[in-house]
C-alpha cells in the first residue's frame, strides 16, 4: 500500500511539473513578449495588436467550447492501454467539432473586422493561428489521461520560438504584423505535432465519427459553452471594448500588460486546478446537489490553491521591483499610464477566478446545478460588459480593471449562494 501511495505521489508530482511547465509557457513567455513589443512597436501600434488579439480570443472561446471540462469528464478513468477505441472516438469527435467551429468563427470574425473596423485584416488573420493551435493541441486529452509531458515540451518549444522570433525580427511599428505571426505560427505547428503524437505514438487514431455523433457532442456541451462564452465577456474582451469607445492607445497598452500579468498568475497556478479537477469529480460522485456539505468537500481542494496563488502574487510583485532596480528597460514600464494602479486593482482577480473554477465549473456543473451556474455566468458577463463600457468611458483603463475584478467577485458570490442549504444526500440516498 505504501509503495502504491508513493508511486501515486510521484506520478502526481511529475504531472504537476509538466502542467506547470505547460501553463507557464502559455502565460509567462507571452507576458515577456509584451514589453518587447510595446518597446519596439510603440504604445499606439501595439494597441492595434492588442485589440486584434482580443478579437481572436472570441475564436478561442468558440473552439474551446465545453470540451476543456466535458472532454476531461468523458475520459477520466479511461486507460491509454485498455481503452484506446473509446479514447479514439472521443478525441476524434471533439477534434472535428472544433475544426468545424473554428472555420465558421474565423470566417465570421474576418468578415466583421473587414466590414466594421479599421483594424488591418492581416493582424486578425495571424492571431487566428492561436485558436487553430488550440484545436490541435487538445490539452484536455492529456489532462484527462494524466500524461502532460508531451504537450508541455511542445508548448515550451513553440513559445520559446515565438520569443526568439519577436526579439530578432521585430524592431519598429512597421513590424507589428510579425508579432501575431511569431506567436501564432509556432503554436499552430506545435498543435499539429501534438495531434500526430497522439495518433502515432499513443495509438489514439483520428477518424471521422459521423455528423450525428459530432452534433451530439456539441449539443451535450451547449450549456457549458454558453457559460464559457459569457466568461469571455468579462475576461477577454475588455481591451476590445476599450478600443470601441476610444480609450487612448497608451492606456490600452497599460491594461494589456497588466491583463497579461494576471493571466500569467492564473496560468502558473492552473496546474493545481487541473490536478485537483478529476479528484474533485471523484469526491463529488456520491452526491447529486450542491449544499453546505459538498461545499466543505470542494473547499478542501480550493484552500491550498488559493494559498499558492497568494504566494505567486507576492513573488511577482517583489520580483518586478527587484528586476526594475536592475534593468532600466523593465523600470520604464512603470511610466506607462496608471500601470501600478491597474495591477493593484487587478490583484484579487486570480484568487476569485480560481475559486470560481473549482466551486463553479467543477462543483456546480457536476452537482446538477448547470442551469444555475450558466445563469450566474450570463448575469456576470452582462454586468461586466455594461460596467466596462461605462467605467472605462469615465475612468479609462482604471475603470476597465474595476469592472474586471468586480465581475469575478460577483460570480463568486452567486456561486457561494447556491451552496446554501442542508447537508447533501448521496445519489444512493444516504446522508453525507
Domain ranges of the chain: 1-220, 247-432
Return the ∠ at Cα 400 (arms to 395 and 406), rounded to 5°.
115
Structure confidence at residue 170 (pLDDT): 92
pTM of the model: 0.76
Radius of gyration of the chain (CA): 21
Q: What is the pLDDT of residue 93?
A: 94
pLDDT mean across residues, the chain? 85
**Cα 125 to chain center, whole Å?**
20
338-363 pLDDT tens trace: 888 998 899 899 889 888 888 887 88
CB 19 within 8 A of CB 148: yes
Q: What are the backbone angles phi and psi of residue 63, rounded to the nearest 5°?
A: -75, -30
pLDDT score for 429: 40
Res. 421 pLDDT band, cuts 50 70 90: low
Q: Which of 120, 46, 38, 386 is nearest to 245 (CA)?
A: 386
Cell of 248: 487612448
Cα(278)–Cα(145) distance, integer angstroms: 10
In this model, does residue 379 exceed pLDDT 80?
A: yes
* Mean pLDDT to the nearest integer, 241-254: 88
CA distance 414 to 405: 15
- Give the dihedral sign, CA 54/72/384/106: positive
Mean pLDDT on 178-190: 96
Residue 391: HSE in the Cβ half-sphere, 13 Å Cα cutoff: 18
Return the SS3 of 289: coil
Phi/psi of residue 431, nearest 5 degrees: -70, 140
Q: State how far the Cα of 338 lies from the Cα of 295, in Å rounded to an integer.
A: 38
Determine the 3-state secondary structure of 294 from DSSP.
helix
Overall average pLDDT of the 400-408 stretch:
94
What would the grid cell of residue 318 be?
517583489
What's the grid cell of residue 118? 479599421
Neighbours of 372 (CB within 10 A): 18
Nearest to 269 by CA among 149, 350, 158: 350
Q: What is the mean pLDDT of residues 232-247?
A: 83
φ/ψ of residue 279, rounded to 5:
-70, -35
Amino acid at each position: 500500500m505504501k509503495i502504491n501511495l508513493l508511486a501515486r505521489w510521484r506520478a502526481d508530482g511529475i504531472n504537476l511539473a509538466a502542467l506547470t511547465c505547460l501553463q507557464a509557457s502559455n502565460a509567462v513567455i507571452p507576458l515577456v513578449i509584451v514589453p518587447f513589443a510595446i518597446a519596439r512597436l510603440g504604445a499606439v501600434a501595439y494597441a492595434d495588436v492588442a485589440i486584434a488579439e482580443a478579437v481572436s480570443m472570441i475564436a478561442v472561446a468558440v473552439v474551446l467550447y465545453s470540451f476543456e471540462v466535458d472532454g476531461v469528464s468523458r475520459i477520466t478513468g479511461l486507460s491509454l492501454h485498455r481503452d484506446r477505441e473509446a479514447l479514439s472516438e472521443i478525441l476524434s469527435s471533439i477534434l472535428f467539432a472544433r475544426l468545424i467551429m473554428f472555420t465558421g468563427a474565423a470566417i465570421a470574425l474576418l468578415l466583421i473586422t473587414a466590414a466594421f473596423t479599421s483594424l488591418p485584416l492581416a493582424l486578425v488573420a495571424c492571431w487566428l493561428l492561436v485558436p487553430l493551435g488550440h484545436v490541435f493541441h487538445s490539452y484536455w486529452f492529456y489532462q484527462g489521461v494524466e500524461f502532460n509531458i508531451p504537450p508541455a515540451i511542445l508548448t515550451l518549444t513553440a513559445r520559446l520560438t515565438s520569443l526568439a522570433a519577436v526579439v530578432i525580427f521585430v524592431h519598429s511599428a512597421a513590424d507589428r504584423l510579425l508579432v501575431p505571426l511569431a506567436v501564432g505560427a509556432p503554436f499552430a505547428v506545435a498543435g499539429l505535432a501534438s495531434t500526430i503524437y497522439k495518433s502515432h505514438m499513443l495509438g489514439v487514431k483520428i477518424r471521422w465519427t459521423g455528423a450525428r455523433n459530432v452534433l451530439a457532442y456539441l449539443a451535450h456541451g451547449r450549456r457549458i459553452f454558453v457559460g464559457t462564452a459569457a466568461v469571455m465577456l468579462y475576461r477577454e474582451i475588455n481591451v476590445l471594448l476599450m478600443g470601441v469607445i476610444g480609450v487612448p492607445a497608451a492606456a490600452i497598452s497599460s491594461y494589456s500588460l497588466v491583463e497579461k500579468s494576471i493571466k500569467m498568475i492564473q496560468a502558473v497556478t492552473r496546474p493545481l486546478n487541473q490536478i485537483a479537477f478529476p479528484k474533485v469529480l471523484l469526491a463529488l460522485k456520491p452526491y447529486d446537489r450542491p449544499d453546505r456539505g459538498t461545499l466543505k468537500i470542494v473547499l478542501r481542494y480550493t484552500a491550498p490553491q488559493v494559498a499558492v496563488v497568494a504566494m505567486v502574487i507576492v513573488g511577482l510583485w517583489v520580483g518586478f521591483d527587484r528586476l526594475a532596480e536592475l534593468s532600466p528597460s523593465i523600470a520604464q514600464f512603470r511610466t506607462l499610464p496608471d500601470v501600478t494602479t491597474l495591477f493593484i486593482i487587478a490583484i484579487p482577480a486570480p484568487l476569485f477566478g480560481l475559486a470560481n473554477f473549482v466551486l463553479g465549473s467543477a462543483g456546480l456543473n457536476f452537482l446538477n446545478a448547470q442551469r444555475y451556474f450558466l445563469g450566474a455566468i450570463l448575469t456576470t458577463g452582462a454586468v461586466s460588459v455594461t460596467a466596462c463600457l461605462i467605467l472605462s468611458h469615465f475612468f479609462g483603463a482604471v475603470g476597465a480593471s474595476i469592472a474586471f475584478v468586480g465581475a469575478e467577485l460577483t460570480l463568486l458570490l452567486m456561486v457561494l449562494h447556491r451552496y446554501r442549504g442542508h447537508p447533501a444526500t448521496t445519489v444512493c440516498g444516504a446522508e453525507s
